[in-house]
A = this chain, B = another copy of it.
Amino acid sequence: MPRKPNHDRAELIDRARDLFWRQGWAGTSLKDLEAVLKMKPGSFYAAFGSKEALFEIALDKYAEDGAGRLAELVEAHGPMAALKRYPELAICREEAPAKACMLSKTLLELQAHRNPLAQRASAHLMRMEEQFAALFAQMQQDGEIAPEHDPKSLARRYQSDLLGLRVSAEREGIDAHAIAREIAEGLDRL
């Protein structure tokens, strides 16, 4: 009986994620969203409820996609090669709306006001780190890295290096690829 929506919801979410990723929470107004999504306020609120609700969905999609890309990399090349390639992959994608990580941007912007979105970003970062830790643990089982290391510590440091890399990549006049290479080479010494 009813009419169907004009837009593909999944693509709307992707476009919103890219806009939020680039411009941040406060830097993205509803006018910006309306322009990018080609929706009037009424449709927007019927579809997503609020700016905050859409940001949450976008953040989750961002984290999910990131985890998926890492999983694919592991599937294709194994844990060690995946972790060595991941830094370069994180900053090289031309189509990405920003070099820096959306999770860290959200955390830094909203943490001070105790916005739930910051906690959500923090939780996603922790989940990433656990994914890294699992890979380090497997590498240890496989004898690829020395047994005296603590996988969780390695993951924490790797995550920190990655976040630093992606902030650096946002700067002008910095060869971030060189940093990515150094992070990858650092894994050889484990």
B171 touches A122 (CB 8 A): yes
A102 nearest CB across to chain B (Å) = 10
Within 8 A of B (CB), among A71-105: 98, 100, 104-105
Q: Is A63 an interface residue (CB 8 A)?
A: no
A87 nearest CB across to chain B (Å) = 11
12 more CB-based (< 8 A) A-B contacts, given A27-B113, A104-B108, A122-B171: A22-B112, A27-B110, A108-B109, A119-B172, A156-B175, A157-B179, A160-B161, A160-B164, A160-B165, A161-B161, A163-B163, A164-B165
Chain A residues in the interface with B (C-beta under 8 A) = 22-24, 26-27, 98, 100, 104-105, 107-113, 119, 122, 125-126, 153, 156-157, 159-165, 167-168, 170-175, 178-179, 182
Specify which of A107, A111, A125 lies most central, judged by the most chain B CB atoms within 10 Å of its CB: A111
B167 touches A179 (CB 8 A): no
Q: Which residues of B contact A168 (CB under 8 A)?
A: 156, 159-160, 163
How many Å lie between the Cα of A156 and that of B108 in the bound state? 22
Q: Which of B111, B156, B178 contacts A174 (CB 8 A)?
A: B156
